[in-house]
Every structure is written in structure tokens, then in C-alpha cells.
Structure 1
Amino acid sequence: MKDHKILIVDDEIISLRMTDNILKSEYKTVCASSAKEAISIIEESPPDLVLSDLRMPEIDGFKFRIIVQEELGKNIPFMFMTADKKDETESKGFSIGAIDYIRKPFRADVLLRRISNIFANLEQIKGLKKAAGTDPMTGLLNKKASQEEIDSVCKKFGGALMMIDLDSFKPVNDIYGHDMGDKVLIRFAQILCAAIRSTDIAGRMGGDEFVIYCKNIDSEEIVAKKSDFINAEIVKSAKELMGEDMQIPLGASIGCAFAPNEGKDFLTLFKKADKALYDVKQNGKHGYKVFLEEKTEEKNVDEKTKALSAAMMLMGERSPKKGALVLNTEQLMTVYRFLNRMVSNYRSSVFVLLYTIDADTGVNIDEATSSFTEMVSGLLRESDVVTRYSKNQTMVVLVKTEESDINVVIDRIDRKWESNEFFEDCTLSYEIDRCRGT
């Protein structure tokens, strides 16, 4: 028997029993002879799918779907069944969010196949959503998904929002290389997961910055214990990865804000936890601080201004590195579209260079391109943009650059490339064009 549970709703008892008999061999089934009875079942234990007749007394299938969606706040997939042959009935069903539709009388194999397809599609969508919300390196939620998930949870459950920075991480990359840096970040994510329960939330905000939300926690003592555990474990893990002679002062700085006392939404809690985190980093790092609202005029600041300030802080780049902004291809596309508009409206000059690296067999072209991309980002201005465009290509966007300055940039990149470890084994070429606006 499959794990999926289906709620069958039909006021015709014979039809209800026949449908249940078809489905119960492959699914867990629950039956209701009216929408009112079905609503009580959903409130107690929501199913994975509702298979409902449309024409029922008191509350028909259309109204039933709307009640579940809007009044109960349950986003449960609905499949309607009806003997009505009118096309407008089917259209109305889809317009209110039905996922499928089947006409009575139906064959058992047809019903089973269509329900199987529904669950297969739902699993695929669920997998895509999970992938879109997951940080590919650590497996934690990414920045956007963390914000959405915590915002939803903290409205219902009190708890502790903790902003966590991995202190002194940059020297790991500088001394031991980026592969080791990735290993440390992955291990740190595992430590954070070990410090919380399975019902809590952990996410990576970007770089060496993380966030966790622990439900139903309002004790500073618990925050202190988690801080001690995280700081002890990252030092132990770092020595396992890099050797006992590792001297980098790795640790974790934690800023905490409790919900609902300090807020009931992510942005409000984020802003306050970030203030507490700043204080920790200014006072020796490797510790924690719980935010406490100060009795100052700040309480009288307009709430909309507070929300905007928090939103801008969240969107902004934390701990920006020197050199060009490094983006992935999808992010660059958004920036490029904006620059196109800027060129059209403000007569700004934007140039795009596409560098291509070719090499003989035996050279790791992926590593060579990564090395080149990192090298270029450090040579350019903070207002420029660099992306790893493909396996052997790097794209550079130069903002507010005059044509006479392009050769200076190209020469600087060529000279630096000559000292790169891949220079002898690779051929570097480039194309250049000017952004002409929309």
C-alpha cells in the first residue's frame, strides 16, 4: 500500500463505496458523505489529495474547495468527479484550482492511472521546489527559501532566530585553497544541523553567513549552550581537515532575537539579530549576544521605515570582497537587462568582454577557467561584474568605462594571466562588444 492518503467525498453512498473499493487497495482512504463531514476530517488530519463529487447538497464541490483553500488555509490538491457533461462545469472546476477532473461513471483503471499521474507530478514539482530553495554546496536552505520558511514559521511559533557568521573564514581560502574552504563550509553546515532539532530551520544566507530558527525556545541559556557547542565543534573539525598545526582562529559569532517578543516576521527579527551579531563581532567574536530592545526614541520610528531598512539590509551584500562583483549566469542576465535600460536612458557606457580558454588534452579546463575568473575579479573595480559563463568562458561587464580605457583593462588582465599556473598550457582569447541599450 502506498503512503498517500486520499479523502473521498460523495453524497451518493453507493458511488462513495465503489470509489473507495477501487482506491483502497493502493492508497490509504478516508470517506465522507458530505463536504461538512470532510471539512472536519481535514481540520483533524489533512489528506494528500481530495477526490470530491461536485454536485452535493448544502455545500457543493466548488464551495468546498474554496472553504478548504481560503478559510482553512490548506493547499490540498483537489480532483473533482461528476456526471455533468457540460464543458463550463469542468472549466469552473479548473478555475478554482482543481488539479484534475473525471466524469462518472469511470473505469477503475482510468481513475487509478490518473491519480497515479497526479502524485507523480506533485512529487516532481515538490522536488523542483526543493532544489530551487536549496543551497547546492551545503544542502541547507538558500537565502530566499530561509527567509520565506522562517517568516512563515515565526508567525505561528515563538522561537529564537540566530544569525551566525563563521569567523576568520577568508584565511582558509587564502592559505589552504578554495577546495578546503568548501569542505569547511560543508562541515560547518553539518555542525549547525547537529546543534538543532529536526523540526528547526537552518539556512545559508551566502558566503560564510548562516541562519537558524529554533522553535519554542526563549532561553538565553540554551542559546549559550548552542554557541559553545558550535564554537568547539568547528575548531575540532578544522584541525581534522587541515591538521593539528592549523592556526586560523575559526569560530562562530551569533546574534539572536526572540520571537514574538522582538518581532513576528523574519525581517524584523533579522534586523535585531544582526545588530546583536555586530556587537559580538566588535567585541572579540566567537560568542553570542541576545538582542534586547533599548528604551530609546527608536521605538517611535515609523514601522514602514523599519521594514524598509531591514529589507535593504537583507538584500545588500554582507562583507563585500574587493574587486568585481562575481555573479552566476542567471544573476548576470538580470543585471545585464538593467544595464541595458540604464544605457538607453542615461547614455552610460557599458562594455562586455567574453574570454575563452582553450587547452590541449590533459589540462583541467574547468580549474583553469575557475582560476582565471577569480583572478579577473580581483583586478577590476567593485562596480564591474564577472561571471563564469560556461565551462571555458568568463564574461566581464565593465560599467561606466570609456572606450579609450578598454585596452588598459585588457593589458592588465593579460599581464596577470602570464603569471598564472595555467598560462603555459592554455590559450586565452577574447571578444568585445558595447552594450547598446534596449
Structure 2
Amino acid sequence: MKKIMIVDDEKISLMMTNHILSSAYSTVCASSGEEAIQLFKKEKPDMVLSDLRMPGMSGYELQQSLQKEYNEQIPFMFMTADTNEETESKGFENGAMDFIHKPFRADILLKRVGNILQTVEKIQGLKQAAVMDPMTGLLNKFSSEGEIAELCKSAQGVLMMIDLDSFKLVNDMYGHDMGDKILIRFAEILKAVVRPIDVVGRLGGDEFIAFCQNVKEDIVIEKKSRFINKYIIDAAKEFMGEDMTIPLGASIGCVFVPNEGTNFASLHKKADKALYTVKQNGKHGYMFYTDLSEDIQKEESQSGDLRNAIKILSERNKNKGAFLLSFEHFRSMYQFYSRLKANYNNEAAILLFMLKEKEHAAVPIEDAADEFMEVLCSSLRQSDLVTKNNALQFIVMLPEISNSDINTVTERIMQNWKSADSSAMFSLSFEQGMIE
């Protein structure tokens, strides 16, 4: 219920006005401007209905005092027995929303108060629409960047650029309605890890931004990162089922403010560089700009030095057997080979191996999966690629291979698995196809 503050030094007029308005609103009464200031702080009314001429502090002075103290436009309506048009004109110049002349009818007063409250609601709705992202309820790009830019000038804390990893797969595999659910839940998770003094917003798509004030240590962001990554997976499984295999998570690029500066544009770029590094190294984590590796710092400063560039790109400590990749890196390689096939007709096979637990398996699933991964990698060439799809599913890519050779490879893997300790408790099957 909306709350109206009634201010009038005439006791009878105050009682009558309160009697009329209390039938439709919550009311609080003050007999002077000074008393109204004290009550306003405690009661926070939705509007003020004040007599214009009062001893000590007039209605004008009360309005100006409250707006100066709270730095906002407070809905005001004046009551007056004065019929002078200059009186009304002055009131409107000061920001009054309406006048009503004493004596007044009850229905007229209720109608005018209702009109003011409806107008205020429309204005607040328009203001909210201008600053909020309609889907997530977070601040939109313009508002969040504006608020954070102001904080960066004087506040201490951490600026975070946040990406929702693999979100496009949700839209592609489950549809945009499911994608909207995931975005809304992700926004709720972000709200849960920030405080009222912090700022969080959606830049668009799967990109978000936040500023956490007075944060000085990495460990705070580490805890936030773990929380976000845990609960977005929980939400995804709640919406899409426990067998959901999309590697959702959050990559977070961070920069300390004012340690790395106070200019928002510059800080934004630094946080973006940290975010890029997270995404290039497995995702689902965080990194501060100051923690970027020496190799990456050198890479940014080098110009035309091919030898150093090759050193940075080259694989270190190359192992025998297949090339084991994270799901996201494997996905990138799949897309690359798909392009090769389209342009050069290069053939590559794709295999999905599935372990299935037999009854009363004494070996934990994790141990069996690790053992099969060792069998898989050792049974393949160095040019073959392997990733884990979920706890008991593994995807293999075999570049430049014929159909007859595929059979040889699968037979070798099946045979080697039979020799493994876990094979007695976990059966193995597979499906095969070619990269499209």
C-alpha cells in the first residue's frame, strides 16, 4: 500500500485530510515542517501532501529541504486556501506536482493523489527501462559501464569482465527458450555473489561486467569464481537433465583498481586481456591482468619476431600417443577440420567411445575413466585428438584416415581395453562417423 505523509499545522484540517486518505492509503501525519523532516527519514513515504503556509517552515521550504537532503525529486502536492495564481506558479517552479485548494471535496483529493502516484509509477518504470536489461534484471551496458566508470575514478576494488562459456551451444542444442532460462539463472547467480554496494550488469549476449568495491585480495575473486562455476552447472542440469554435457561455466578477467589505473577504458582493455587468457587456457576460471604470464606479456610487446612467436605457439613437453584436449579446444579443432574438408576434401573420422558400468563394479567410475583414457591415448597416433565428453564418454578425431584403417584402430582400442583391470567391470562400445 502506498504511503502518504500529510503535513498541516491546523489540527482539524490535518485530521480531516487523514480521514479521507486513510481509506485508500497508509498515512503518516506531521504538524510542522520540522516534524515532517524527522518522520520522512523514518517512514520514507511515497509522496508528501503539505499545507503551503505554516509557521516556522513553509511548505516550499519543506520541499526544498527534503529534496536537497535526499538529492532526488520527491513527489509533492500542496494544500492552500490562497487563490493567488502566483502562489501556484511558484510551487510548480519548485517542482510541485499539483495543488488543491481548501476546502476540498474528498473525491477530488483522492482522485488527484491517485493521479500523482500513477504518474510517479510511470516515470519510475520509464527510468528503470532505460537503465535495466529487460531479460536479466541487471543494469544494461550503458548504465553499468557508466556507474563503473565513475567508481573507477575514486573507489578501490576489482573490475571483472565475465563471459558465460559455451552458451551458444545451449541455444543450438536446446533452443532459445532454454537459452533465456540459463541467462536469467546466470544473472541470479551473479547477483548472489555481489553485495549491494557492488555493480553488476549485462553488456549483451553472454557478456557481463561487475565491479566489487574494497576487494584487495585474489582469494575473494577465487571464491566467487568457484561459486559461479558450480551453480551454473547445477542450474543447467536442473533445466536440461543430469546427462547434460555442455561445458557451461564462467571465464573472468580481472583488474585491481586503482593499482592498474583509474581510467575505465584502459582498465576495461586490461581486464579483457586477462579474460582472453582464461578462455585460451581451458576457461571456467579467473585471472588478474597482473598475473599474465611472461610469454603473453612478451607476445604483446613483440613486433614481427617470428622465432619468438613460434616458441610461444609450440607445444612443450610433447607426449607420445594421441593429443589430449579440453572439450572446448577439441571443438575448435573439429571446426577447423570441418573447414579443411570443405575446402580441400580432407577426410577425418570421428569416434564416440562409451563405458558402461556392469553390476556391482568395485572400481570407482573416475578410476575406470582414467584407465580407459590411458588406453585410448596410447592406442592412437600423435596426430589423433582425444577429449572427454562426460564421465563415461570419450570423443576421438582421426585425421587423414581411410575406412579400413578406422576398423583397425577401433579393434586395437577394444583389444587393449580387454587387457585393462577395469574392463571386467565396465563394458565398452562405440559409434563412428566422418567429419561433415
Q: TM-score, normalised by structure 1?
A: 0.55
What is residue 189 of structure 1 aligned with on the other side? 187
- Unaligned runs of 5+ residues in structure 1 are 295-438
Post-superposition Cα deviations, 1:65-110, rounded to whole Å, max 9, x if no partner, equal: 2222234414321111111111221122112211111111112222
Q: Which amino acid aligns with 2:219?
A: E
- SS in structure 2 of the partner of residue 210 of structure 1: strand
Q: Does 1:90 align with 2:78?
A: no
Post-superposition Cα deviations, 1:316-352, rounded to whole Å, max 9, x if no partner, equal: xxxxxxxxxxxxxxxxxxxxxxxxxxxxxxxxxxxxx
What is residue 205 of structure 2 aligned with on the other side? 207
Sort the Cα spacing of 1:80 and 1:270 in 2 relative to 1 into closer, same or farther, 3 A. farther
Shift of 1:36: 2.7
- SS in structure 1 of the partner of residue 221 of structure 2: helix
Post-superposition Cα deviations, 1:276-328, rounded to whole Å, max 9, x if no partner, equal: 4345345543212356699xxxxxxxxxxxxxxxxxxxxxxxxxxxxxxxxxx
Shift of 1:229: 1.7
Q: Supply the distance in 2 between the matched residues of 1:144 and 1:64 (Cα, whole angstroms).
A: 35
Sort the Cα spacing of 1:37 and 1:256 in 2 relative to 1 into closer, same or farther, 3 A. farther
Sort the Cα spacing of 1:42 and 1:153 in 2 relative to 1 into closer, same or farther, 3 A. farther
Shift of 1:140: 3.2
Q: Does 1:227 align with 2:225?
A: yes
Q: Supply the distance in 2 between the matched residues of 1:43 and 1:262 (Cα, whole angstroms).
A: 40
Q: Which amino acid aligns with 2:118?
A: A
Alignment of 1:5-404 (within 5 A): 5-147=3-145, 161-173=159-171, 178=176, 180-196=178-194, 202-213=200-211, 220-238=218-236, 248-256=246-254, 273-274=271-272, 276-281=274-279, 283-290=281-288
Shift of 1:111: 1.4
> Does the 8 A contact of 1:262 with 1:293 survive in 2?
no
Q: Which amino acid aligns with 1:29?
A: T
Sort the Cα spacing of 1:219 and 1:41 in 2 relative to 1 into closer, same or farther, 3 A. farther
Q: Which amino acid aligns with 1:12?
A: E
Q: Supply the distance in 1 between the matched residues of 2:30 and 2:11 (Cα, whole angstroms).
A: 9
Q: Supply the distance in 2 between the matched residues of 1:178 and 1:240 (Cα, whole angstroms).
A: 17
Shift of 1:254: 1.6
Q: Supply the distance in 2 between the matched residues of 1:65 and 1:293 (Cα, whole angstroms).
A: 53
Q: Which has the larger radius of gyration?
A: 2
Q: Supply the distance in 2 between the matched residues of 1:170 and 1:235 (Cα, whole angstroms).
A: 15
What is residue 374 of structure 1 aligned with on the other side? none
CA RMSD in angstroms comes to: 3.9
- SS in structure 2 of the partner of residue 26 of structure 1: coil
Q: Which amino acid aligns with 1:15?
A: S
Q: Supply the distance in 2 between the matched residues of 1:185 and 1:284 (Cα, whole angstroms).
A: 21
What is residue 308 of structure 2 aligned with on the other side? none
Q: Supply the distance in 2 between the matched residues of 1:260 and 1:31 (Cα, whole angstroms).
A: 48
- Unaligned runs of 5+ residues in structure 2 are 293-436
Q: Which amino acid aligns with 1:97?
A: G
Q: Which amino acid aligns with 2:39?
A: I
- SS in structure 1 of the partner of residue 62 of structure 2: helix
> Does the 8 A contact of 1:51 with 1:78 survive in 2?
yes
Q: Does 124-133 or 211-220 show the bigger shift?
A: 211-220
Shift of 1:57: 3.3
Q: Supply the distance in 1 between the matched residues of 2:226 and 2:256 (Cα, whole angstroms).
A: 19
Q: Supply the distance in 2 between the matched residues of 1:214 and 1:45 (Cα, whole angstroms).
A: 30
> Does the 8 A contact of 1:134 with 1:141 survive in 2?
yes
Q: Which amino acid aligns with 1:207?
A: G
Post-superposition Cα deviations, 1:154-204, rounded to whole Å, max 9, x if no partner, equal: 999976553311123345445665555444433433433444467865431
Q: Supply the distance in 2 between the matched residues of 1:263 and 1:33 (Cα, whole angstroms).
A: 52
- SS in structure 1 of the partner of residue 79 of structure 2: strand
Sort the Cα spacing of 1:118 and 1:263 in 2 relative to 1 into closer, same or farther, 3 A. farther
Q: Which amino acid aligns with 1:287?
A: G
Shift of 1:139: 3.8
- SS in structure 2 of the partner of residue 56 of structure 1: coil
Q: Supply the distance in 1 between the matched residues of 2:35 and 2:261 (Cα, whole angstroms).
A: 38
Q: Supply the distance in 2 between the matched residues of 1:4 and 1:186 (Cα, whole angstroms).
A: 30
Shift of 1:245: 6.3
Shift of 1:7: 1.9
Q: Supply the distance in 2 between the matched residues of 1:90 and 1:105 (Cα, whole angstroms).
A: 16
Q: TM-score, normalised by structure 2?
A: 0.55
Shift of 1:228: 0.7
Q: Supply the distance in 1 between the matched residues of 2:81 and 2:95 (Cα, whole angstroms).
A: 19
Q: Supply the distance in 2 between the matched residues of 1:226 and 1:167 (Cα, whole angstroms).
A: 16
Sort the Cα spacing of 1:265 and 1:52 in 2 relative to 1 into closer, same or farther, 3 A. farther
